[in-house]
């Protein structure tokens, strides 16, 4: 066991204890900041190798992949009943070098699978395991609702005309692939679906859109077309929330798309301030609509 | 006008005249061969710059992009009432250097769009124009049915077990994206949809699957997973028929997939002999199922 706890496990705040099980990226830190501001008494358990150094600003501990027994001890030690699972996992861990403790052996197969997302059934199984142990998994929308988009313009103007039509088509296409549990994002340009996301992820899909444009396979000039991102209809947002961030905006602008439509209440905005600034600077709109949006009025009706 | 007619416009055969409007690749030649064998009196009109040299083995003429008036004259000169449109278009033509004749001016915008596929509404409009002029567009399945898959094993054994489950899932995913007019192909591995085709095309999608595997984003060992290819539910097969060929088999094997499931009656098999030989050699199955296939029995029930 190389993980260590630094700082008092029970830190300032005094509110209801919360454990943030943090993988990579800045979002776990944003969630910790928001939850602390909301008065929660937090402990961040960072997954070694994935977690960002920024968690050192919070009461924290590190755990390795697979140390479920240790994680459970830490959660109990913090007196927490609620956990948030958040952050990105770059790639599957190296099984050879993975620390596995006694608490893990039974659950290892489902934990590993659960950590790689995409399969809602396995994630649900993981949640079931956690809840069997007497804990409750909560979502970012529960502990840091300000990180989740609300219906309306997030950056730039609401889409109109052909851009509105592309937004509707992309949003509908994203729904169709969500229904088959394949992906969360789609791109439409000129009233044609040009890309659908599956295992490659949104960033790789946007690189493909840029290549499709450069290759002349679908032609458009100036900024046109829309990326849509939304939750799968059956998605458990506590376990796996779609996200956009500054990198998404950058990739959308690089691909020559006009903007992004996201599902209100279901899509996390990572580094929102930076993302909005970048969107305004690059002339990229970001618009949130309810899942039931038909786009007909152009208004976020929900 | 640089196009020229070589050989007698009305050649051996003596059967009902047929014009094959041929873009690139070997399929137009296969169609010409099969239609001639079936007794049709054929004329191939090759699209300059796209068409394969192999059409020289048939009574043929060349036309440039946009010479609708000339094409109409050639069809009338051949005494044909039926046309087949077939072949691949590498990329949109260079508009600057395109020859446009008087017959074309009115129809140019819809012709150009029609030639690039993907938008069934525009293709239907093109068919309407042709049929307005007194001609009838027929499909490959009408004039060369042996080039289209029939239900059952095409190469290798029928899929079983996990491979059968992947075949069903990929086939269903391809249906879902067809319903939104986005694409015709999907890949499932380990009961997960890993790629969906849109504007990039099947070959590019298969390269992505290989990259996803190499990158460790989805892990599988040995040969596993299935490519499904089928017509869009609303697709007019006379205008745009999905196709697989030796290159598809090669790309499927390179991506580490186990095989291909295609929709019987709706998917063209280019260079079938070579494709089957390559499939057998590389241990890749090719299996055709009816569009209504649920996969439950593993049998091609249609």
Q: Which of B186, B193, B198 sits opposite A194 (nearest CB)?
A: B198
Probe site for chain B from A199, A215, A232, A234 (most B CB atoms < 10 A): A199
What pLDDT shows up at residue A28?
92
Greatest extent of chain A over all pairs of C-alpha atoms, in Å: 59
Give the distance from residue B16's alpha carbon to the nearest chain A alpha carbon, in angstroms. 37
Give me the pLDDT at residue A86, please.
87
Whether residues A180 and B199 touch (CB distance < 8 A) is answered with no
Chain A CA closest to residue B199: A194
Give the rounded distance of the alpha carbon of A273 from its chain centre: 16
Query: Look-up: residue for tokens 């979502």?
Result: A139
Joined together, the tokens standing for residue B182 give 């986005």
Which of B118, B196, B175 is CA-nearest to residue B289?
B175
pLDDT at A88: 75
* B5/A197: higher pLDDT: A197
What is the token pair recorded at B274?
A: 């070579």
What is the distance in angstroms between the Cα of A93 and the nearest Cα belonging to chain B? Answer: 10
Which pLDDT value is given to residue A5? 45
Q: Among the listed ranges A149-163, A223-237, B231-245, which one has the minimum average pLDDT value?
A: B231-245
Residue B201 token pair:
């095309």
Q: From CA B153, how far away is CA B262, in angstroms rounded?
A: 10
Q: N- to C-terminal Cα distance for chain A? A: 49
Q: Which of B199, B202, B240 to mutate to test the interface with A (most CBs of A within 10 A)?
A: B199
Query: Beta B60-63 vs B5-6: how paired, if at all?
Result: antiparallel
Distance from CA of B120 to the nearest CA of A (A): 11
Angle in degrees, CA A175, A179, A185, rounded to 5: 40
pLDDT digits (tens, 9 = 90+) for A274-291: 999 999 999 999 999 999
In this prediction, residue A235 has a pLDDT band, given cuts at 50, 70 and 90, of confident
Specify the higher pLDDT residue, A24 or A59. Answer: A59
> What is d(CA A191, CA A173) in angstroms, rounded to the nearest whole number?
11
Q: Which residues does chain A have within 8 Å of residue B179's beta carbon, measured at their own beta carbons?
A: 176
Query: By a Cβ cutoff of 8 Å, what residues of chain A touch chain B?
Result: 91-92, 118-119, 172-173, 176-177, 179-183, 186-187, 192-201, 204, 208, 211-212, 215-219
pLDDT along chain B (302 residues), means of 10: 42 75 89 95 91 93 79 92 83 44 52 49 66 90 93 96 97 96 96 95 96 86 95 86 94 97 95 96 97 67 42
Say whether B208 and A212 touch across the interface (CB within 8 A): no
- What is the C-alpha to C-alpha distance for residues A86 and A137, in angstroms, rounded to an integer? 11
Nearest neighbour of A196 by CB, restricted to B92, B172, B198: B198
Cβ contact (<8 Å) for A212 and B200?
Answer: yes
By C-alpha distance, the chain B residue nearest A94 is B216
Q: Decide: B99 and B67 in contact? Cβ < 8 Å.
A: yes
Q: Is A146 helix (H, G, I), strand (E, B) or coil?
A: helix
- At residue A264, the 3 state secondary structure works out as coil
pLDDT for the residue numbered B1: 36
**How far is Cα A167 from Cα B151, in angstroms, rounded to an integer?**
39
Residues of A in contact with B196 (CB under 8 A): 177, 182-183, 196-198
**Distance between CA atoms of residues B132 and B134, nearest Å:** 5
CB contact under 8 A, A177 and B172: no
Backbone angles phi, psi at B251, to 5 degrees: -65, -35
Structure tokens at A3: 């993980």
Cβ–Cβ below 8 Å for A118 and B216: no
Task: Output DSSP code: residue B105.
Answer: T
Q: Answer whether residue A241 shows pLDDT above 70.
A: yes
pLDDT of residue B24: 85
Q: Which residues have a Cβ under 8 Å from the Cβ of A10 and sit 6 or more positions away?
A: A17, A41, A43, A59, A78, A79
| A27-85 tens-digit pLDDT | 999 999 999 999 999 999 998 888 899 999 999 999 876 677 788 899 999 999 999 98
Q: For residue range A69-125, what is the model confidence (pLDDT) as tens digits?
A: 788 899 999 999 999 988 876 544 444 444 445 555 455 455 555 454 444 555 566
Which positions ≥6 away from A81 have C-beta within 8 Å?
A: A17, A134, A135, A136
């Amino acid at each position: 066991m190389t993980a260590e706890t630094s700082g008092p496990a029970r830190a300032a705040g005094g509110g209801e204890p919360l454990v943030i099980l943090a993988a990579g990226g800045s979002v776990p830190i944003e969630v910790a900041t928001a939850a602390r501001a909301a008065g929660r008494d937090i402990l961040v358990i960072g997954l070694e190798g994935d977690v960002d150094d920024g968690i050192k600003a919070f009461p924290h501990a590190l755990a390795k992949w697979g140390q479920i027994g240790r994680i459970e001890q830490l959660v109990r030690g913090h007196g927490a009943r609620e956990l948030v699972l958040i952050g990105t996992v770059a790639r599957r861990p190296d099984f050879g070098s993975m620390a596995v403790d006694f608490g893990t052996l039974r659950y290892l197969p489902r934990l590993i699978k659960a950590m790689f997302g995409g399969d809602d059934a396995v994630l649900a199984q993981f949640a079931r395991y956690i809840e069997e142990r007497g804990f409750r998994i909560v979502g970012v929308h529960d502990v840091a609702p300000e990180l989740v988009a609300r219906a309306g313009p997030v950056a730039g103007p609401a889409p109109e005309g052909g851009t509105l039509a592309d937004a509707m088509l992309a949003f509908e296409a994203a729904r169709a692939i969500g229904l088959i549990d394949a992906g969360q994002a789609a791109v439409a340009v000129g009233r044609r679906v040009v890309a659908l996301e599956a295992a490659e992820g949104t960033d790789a899909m946007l690189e493909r859109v840029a290549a499709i444009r450069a290759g002349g396979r679908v032609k458009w000039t100036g900024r046109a077309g829309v990326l849509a991102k939304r939750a799968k209809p059956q998605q458990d947002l506590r376990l796996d929330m779609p996200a956009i961030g500054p990198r998404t905006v950058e990739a959308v602008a690089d691909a020559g798309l006009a903007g992004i439509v996201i599902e209100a209440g279901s899509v996390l905005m990572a580094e929102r301030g930076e993302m909005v600034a970048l969107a305004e600077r690059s002339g990229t709109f970001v618009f949130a609509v309810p899942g039931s949006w038909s786009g007909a009025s152009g208004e976020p009706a929900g």
